[in-house]
Amino acid sequence: MKVLFYLLFYLFFGSFLSISHAMPLHFMDVSAGVFRFQIKLAENGNAEAQYKVGEMYESGNGVVKNQKKARQWFEKAAARGHKKASYKLLYMDIQETGLSRKNKPQLNILRREAAAGNANAQYFLGKMYASGTGMPKSLEHALTWLNKATFNGVAEAEHEAIVVQEEIQRIREKQQAEKAQAEASKTIQAGGQKKSITESPKPPKQSRSSASDTEARRIEQERLRLEREKAALAAEKARIERERKAAEAEKRRLEKLRRQAAEEQARKAAEREKSEQEAATFKADPCKSKSARFLSTCR
């Protein structure tokens, strides 16, 4: 029993250490710090911060993932007129319940605002086309709207556009491979039929022709195998490239969050220092402070 206890302990502890080493702690610290900063602003009624807190709860970035709390913060932001939060709630509603009489007018408004140049509306319209949410799935339409949103400054639209472009490329490669395989099969069948027609009724010639057909089929099968391996290598290369781009995009995003947190920290430090200087000036000579005009003794 004691041996079993130690075995379970080592298994659990080893798994915990492997997971802990795999997680970038500095990213976790930065994300948690950003969340603490945003939640303070959100609780004070800042609509943009409320939306960002909703995103962080939705993705589990800097805080434990909680879809219910994410929706609550999106709703708070939307109630304060945050358009992107309204689009987000519409997207979530259609995903969960489908297109209905209630949300269809909102989808029409989203379409009009996207056509009018609203970048966030373009982003969510692109997401809807990409996933088939509220409309037939169309990767081409999705890429069009996501590219427009990217051009108009929506950072997350760039990553979505890359994912859609890679999916389009995979579909094209698959179609080309299937087409090549179908053509190769037709060639083999046509060659076999032609040789069977030209075969001589004499047993020796028929034997040589059969051997030739077998060799031709073997060569063609080998060629198809090499083509499949080539396609598989290309797909693996594309997958590695996708992962590299996704990692770079995540690195850029985290670096941006880190800079924002550092800038906010510097701003607060400057404000605190300025406040302390003003307090010191007032204490040393009240008549030299900014509040001197309110003091009758300094007039």
Going from N- to C-terminal start, the domains of the chain cover 31-155, 156-250
In sequence order, the 6+-apart residues with CB closer than 8 A to the CB of 197 are: none
Mean pLDDT computed over every residue of the chain: 81
What is d(CA 37, CA 72) in angstroms, rounded to the nearest whole number? 18
Q: Tell me if the domain spanning 31-155 has CATH number 1.25.40.10.
A: yes
Mean pLDDT, range 1-6, rounded to an integer: 46
283-299 per-position pLDDT tens digit: 666 666 565 555 455 55
In sequence order, the 6+-apart residues with CB closer than 8 A to the CB of 117 are: 152
Band (pLDDT 50/70/90 cuts) for residue 234 is confident
Burial class (CB in 10 A: 0-12, 13-18, 19+), 84: buried
Provide Rg for the chain, Cα atoms.
32
Q: Over 60: is that where the pLDDT of 215 sits?
A: yes
pLDDT value at position 228?
A: 81
**Cβ neighbours around 76 below 10 Å, total:** 19
Q: Tell me, what DSSP letter sits at residue 23?
A: S
Contact yes or no for 126/158 (Cβ under 8 A): no
pLDDT value at position 6?
A: 46
Comparing 119-123, 137-141, 142-146, 235-239, the range with the smallest average pLDDT is 235-239
pLDDT value at position 125?
A: 94
186-213 per-position pLDDT tens digit: 888 776 666 665 555 555 554 556 677 7
Band (pLDDT 50/70/90 cuts) for residue 4 is very low
Question: Dihedral (C-alpha) 50, 53, 57, 61: value to the nearest 10 degrees?
Answer: 160
Contact yes or no for 166/238 (Cβ under 8 A): yes
What is d(CA 80, CA 82) in angstroms, rounded to the nearest whole number? 6
**Collapsed DSSP state (helix, strand, coil) of residue 82:** coil
pLDDT value at position 209?
A: 61
In sequence order, the 6+-apart residues with CB closer than 8 A to the CB of 224 are: 181, 184
Band (pLDDT 50/70/90 cuts) for residue 5 is very low
Q: Over 90: is that where the pLDDT of 51 sits?
A: yes
Q: Distance from first CA to last CA of the chain, Å, rounded?
A: 87
Band (pLDDT 50/70/90 cuts) for residue 74 is very high
Q: Over 50: is that where the pLDDT of 248 sits?
A: yes
**Collapsed DSSP state (helix, strand, coil) of residue 238:** helix
Mean pLDDT, range 11-39, rounded to an integer: 59
